[in-house]
Each structure stands twice: as structure tokens, then as C-alpha cells.
């Protein structure tokens, strides 16, 4: 296949992603483009190991430490949202539209919850100690369907299915 053909059939996503990186003040690199592209579609709130696992086939030279650093840089730059944890436990969300999260206390799976589910309190503009409030979040402490049925952590497949179903519900509700 000629390169012209490849170019015309590729979606414009990489260009869009490169622009996003530049707008966020980040240099455009192969790993950053790949990770940004993955996060755009991944509704499972992945951690660094999940991201590496999903991209390793196409990017064999990608390392776990590059993924960690990239996710942290993305969170700082506002390209993805910090959901939970730090370091090895860091979980991120590439979907920036406002929503809350429910975290299974048994297996740690994270689910999207529609913001309209409960009425959020209106926060003060400032808190003591010179803190400027930029938003308020609600986090639900839950037991997911997979864990509730067996009392043991649900399988990865069950968690993915539930996350997908939950995100579908959330998007049709909004």
C-alpha cells in the first residue's frame, strides 16, 4: 500500500491530538499521542498498567514509567482527570464532561455517575487558608454488581461490562 493511501484513510485524530497537546503546553511525542488517543475512548478509568497493557502491542518500546509520567503531566495540564490514587494506584478519566464517580469498595472499579443523580451543594467561593474553590465533587462508595453477587471482587470482564453499561446510561440520560 502506498503512503498516500494510508494518509487519506487515517482519521484526523492524531492531528487533533497533536493540537490538544500543544494547546496544553506539552511537546508532541509518539507516546503522548498514543495515550491521549486511548484515553479519549476508554471509559474504564484506567491506571498506568492498564494503559500500558492496551498500548504495548502497537508501542513495544513504551515503558511503565513513561506512562506514569505522561498521565501525571496530562492531569496537571487538564487533558485528563485524576480519579483516584497516586503512583501505582493512579486512575484517570479522559472524559472531561462533568460527572461523578462511584468506586467499588471491594474491587476498586470506578463507574461514571450522572451529575443529576443527586443535587450538589453550592460550595463557597473560598475556604479558610486562602483556598479558592473551583468545584465540588461527589464520590459514591459502592459495591459493584459483580462483587455484590459473589462477595468477591468481580472479574475484569464484568467490571468492564458494567463500566460500559453505566457510561451508556449516563450518556443517554444527559
| Residues at the interface with Zn ion (CB under 5 A) | 93, 104, 106-107, 109, 112, 144, 147, 154
Nine cell digits for residue 38: 486511548
- Judged on CB neighbours under 10 Å (0-12, 13-18, 19+), 10 is exposed
- In the bound state with Zn ion, the residue whose beta carbon lies nearer, of 63 and 155, is 155
Q: How far is the CB of 28 from Zn ion (least distance, A)?
A: 26
What are all long-range contacts of 48-57, with beta carbons under 8 Å and residues at least 24 apart? 48/88, 48/90, 49/88
Q: How far is the CB of 45 from Zn ion (least distance, A)?
A: 6
35 DSSP 8-state letter: H
| Residue closer to Zn ion, measured from CB, 46 or 154 | 154
Start-to-end CA span in the chain (Å): 43
d(CA 27, CA 118): 40
Q: How far is the CB of 153 from Zn ion (least distance, A)?
A: 6
Residue placing its CB nearer to Zn ion in the complex, 52 or 80? 80
User: Min. distance of Cβ 144 from Zn ion in angstroms?
Assistant: 3
Smallest separation (angstroms) from Zn ion to the CB of 87:
20
For Zn ion, the closer CB: 62 or 146: 146
Minimum CB distance to Zn ion smaller for 62 or for 81? 81
CA dihedral 142, 144, 149, 155 (to 10 degrees): -140
Amino acid at each position: 500500500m502506498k503512503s498516500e493511501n494510508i494518509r487519506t484513510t487515517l482519521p484526523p485524530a492524531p492531528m487533533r491530538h497533536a493540537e490538544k497537546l500543544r494547546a496544553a503546553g506539552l511537546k508532541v511525542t509518539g507516546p503522548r499521542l498514543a495515550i491521549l488517543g486511548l484515553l479519549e475512548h476508554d471509559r474504564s478509568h484506567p491506571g498506568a498498567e492498564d494503559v500500558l497493557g492496551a498500548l504495548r502491542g502497537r508501542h513495544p518500546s513504551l515503558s511503565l514509567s513513561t506512562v506514569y509520567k505522561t498521565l501525571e503531566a496530562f492531569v496537571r495540564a487538564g487533558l485528563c482527570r485524576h480519579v483516584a490514587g497516586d503512583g501505582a494506584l493512579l486512575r484517570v478519566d479522559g472524559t472531561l464532561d462533568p460527572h461523578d464517580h462511584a468506586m467499588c469498595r471491594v474491587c476498586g472499579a470506578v463507574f461514571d455517575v450522572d451529575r443529576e443523580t443527586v443535587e450538589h451543594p453550592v460550595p463557597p467561593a473560598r475556604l479558610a487558608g486562602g483556598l479558592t474553590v473551583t468545584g465540588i465533587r461527589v464520590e459514591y462508595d459502592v459495591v459493584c454488581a459483580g462483587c455484590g453477587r459473589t462477595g468477591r471482587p468481580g472479574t475484569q470482564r464484568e467490571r468492564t461490562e458494567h463500566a460500559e453499561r453505566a457510561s451508556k446510561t449516563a450518556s443517554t440520560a444527559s
